[in-house]
Amino acid sequence: VRGMRAPLPALLWLCLAPLPAPAGAELRVRVRLPGGQVTEESLQADSGADCVSLELRAADGALVTLTADFRQEVKIFRALILGELERGQSQFQALCFVTRLHRNEIIPSESMAKLRQKNPRTVRQAEEVRGLEHLSMDVAVNFSKGAQLSPHIHNVCAEAREAIYTREEDVKFWLEKGVDGSMFEVLPQTSDVPELQRCRLCLDRWKPCICSYSLSIEWYPCMLKYCKSRDAGGKVSSYKCGIRSCQKGYTFDYYVPQKQLCLWDEET
């Protein structure tokens, strides 16, 4: 909805009440997954810590979380993937992918904390589908030192201590900001180790390989909407009147010491 005369749909609205919003707020929305399933997504905002988080259960049962740390310019994706017990895996496997947070990727924490839902039973679908992002996660992050990068890593990635990944290009950005480089370790790549295969092509379950994992944030407030009003003197002014929702998918490639840690990435 772009014009000020058009009726706004049943989206999440920014609460413009004069009372201040709490520093931390949680909202639950119903969203439709690609296969038609409906799931509940939790959105939390903490304007005091200047961060937001979104969590939903994917169609395959994985619990996917996105945490945006605006203060440190860090984005943390966590996936809790159900294990294949009959194939020797544990009950679940945890992965964390840490990347740089760019401006205007998601609405600010202060605005997120003010969101209120008009029709809680409505099933939401994103207004805009943003392109799939394919990321090569070629650096490991030391969990015990990760708090220097973002204090949220300690809580969000606790189950993924040995599986926290980032990109060399993001590391360069953080090093320029003064982050301690000792928390990063460059991982083996196919350019360095020619025999290193993609896990989907690797026949030996105990050999190292390059794993691929995909996730999608099905619905999130990516932009603020502004409406226009005209006063008695004819002067036009803008005000926040809602949000635009987006969907975005990600594919992460990263090194694993054995294919057993990447059983989902197989040829079908």
- Tell me the per-residue pLDDT of 145-154, one tens digit each, with 9 for 90 and over: 999 999 999 9
User: pLDDT tens for residues 90-118?
Assistant: 678 999 999 999 988 999 999 998 888 78
**Total domains present in the chain:** 1
Asked if pLDDT for residue 265 goes beyond 60, the answer is yes
Q: How confident is the model at residue 216 (pLDDT cuts 50, 70, 90)?
A: very high
Q: Which two tokens stand for residue 31?
A: 């969203």
**Residue 185 falls within a domain, yes or no?**
yes
**Residue 49 falls within a domain, yes or no?**
yes
- Stated length of the chain: 268
**Residue 208 falls within a domain, yes or no?**
no
Per the structure, the complete domain to which residue 164 belongs is given by: 25-196
**Residue 91 falls within a domain, yes or no?**
yes
**Residue 263 falls within a domain, yes or no?**
no
How large a percentage of the chain has pLDDT more than 90?
62
**Residue 33 falls within a domain, yes or no?**
yes
Cα–Cα distance measured from residue 203 to residue 206, given in angstroms and rounded to the nearest whole number: 9
Asked if pLDDT for residue 122 goes beyond 60, the answer is yes
The amino acid at residue 104 is: N
Report the 3 state secondary structure along 237-266.
EEEEEEEEEEEEEEEEEEEECCHHHHCCCC
**Residue 250 falls within a domain, yes or no?**
no
Asked if pLDDT for residue 218 goes beyond 70, the answer is yes
Which has the minimum average pLDDT: 70-84, 129-143, 166-180, 221-235?
A: 221-235
DSSP state of 218: E
**Residue 144 falls within a domain, yes or no?**
yes
